[in-house]
Structure 1
């Protein structure tokens, strides 16, 4: 398995992995869109997303590859203010969960954030998404005590310091 930042030419694969993620049983808790919404987006949306995720200074999208197959993704956003970064759009294919894919994606996102001066990385996870919460706790994320109301309901804010 290998983790890398996406390429500007990866639009079709970015779309395909997003659709796979939206088919996951927890998608209703984890993502702020439906498969139908994503499928209806024009090709230009996915092209722009690939360009931004590959070349942007404010965000980076990473994927995990097992051979030629993409088996996971995570996007990291630079903080608008402060010294943190935000992890979003995290997904690992069901058949690759528990194999270190999430660890490698979070590490890559953290390295990108640290290179931009961040000293912590945060995320928001639905209060009912216990599987994701457990995975993030295992990776060193701790609840901040803050909950936010997102499009899917209450989400728990978690952070993890980025090592020096």
Structure 2
């Protein structure tokens, strides 16, 4: 694999925006993201600056965005990891009983799929999660649309297991997300 996996830097907001907009144009974006291209493209530069800064290597520590960078500097994949404290009120899903991280915004450009990028992004996300001392993370979780079987297969291959938790997709009466988890290694 010829890609560098690293955290974003605060000044890379334009690249972060471009990759997010590309993700939202993917054919399965309606299953993978709780956002739309139409909404995202209207957001001001200040939104993208703040979002990238907060997830950067120098950010406050509540989240990290990992990117896969090609030798030519082009970003071909990303995953965002959010810290969720036990008992905290969450935007999506039930309040956690343990300290955990939540992987969101996963995307790999079509030309990099099958190259190991997704594996490396998830490895970086888990390593960062396990490296946290306060809070000490007990599991990494994610949600995946019930119809997104391609992503479910990838997550199972990476060692994540379905917990049986199902959450209604906001704004939909029929769509459901399934929770997957990776427990902290013994």
Normalising by the smaller structure, the TM-score range is: over 0.9
The structure carrying a bigger helix percent of its residues is 1
How far apart, in 2, do the equivalents of 1:106 and 1:13 lie? 20
Which structure 1 segments of 5+ residues have no match? none
2:139 paired with 1:120: yes
Aligned to 1:159: 181
How far apart, in 1, do the equivalents of 2:24 and 2:105 lie? 11
How far apart, in 1, do the equivalents of 2:163 and 2:141 lie? 9
Q: Deviation digits for residues 22-65 of structure 1, max 9, x if unmatched?
A: 11000001011111100000000000011101013110000001
How far apart, in 1, do the equivalents of 2:179 and 2:82 lie? 15
How far apart, in 1, do the equivalents of 2:131 and 2:123 lie? 12
How far apart, in 1, do the equivalents of 2:33 and 2:145 lie? 10
The 3-state SS of whatever aligns with 1:9 is helix
How far apart, in 2, do the equivalents of 1:48 and 1:6 lie? 12
C-alpha deviation, 1:162, in angstroms? 3.2
Structure-2-length-normalised TM-score: 0.85
How far apart, in 2, do the equivalents of 1:96 and 1:26 lie? 16
C-alpha deviation, 1:76, in angstroms? 0.5
Aligned to 2:54: 52
Aligned to 1:34: 36
Q: What is the aligned-residue RMSD (CA, Å)?
A: 1.1
The 3-state SS of whatever aligns with 2:41 is helix
Aligned to 2:152: 133
C-alpha deviation, 1:17, in angstroms? 0.0
Structure-1-length-normalised TM-score: 0.96
How far apart, in 2, do the equivalents of 1:102 and 1:163 lie? 20
Corresponding residue pairs, total: 164
Which structure 2 segments of 5+ residues have no match? 87-97
The 3-state SS of whatever aligns with 2:55 is helix
The 3-state SS of whatever aligns with 2:54 is helix
State which of 97, 109, 123 in structure 2 corresponds to 1:107: 123
How far apart, in 1, do the equivalents of 2:184 and 2:124 lie? 11
Aligned to 1:61: 65
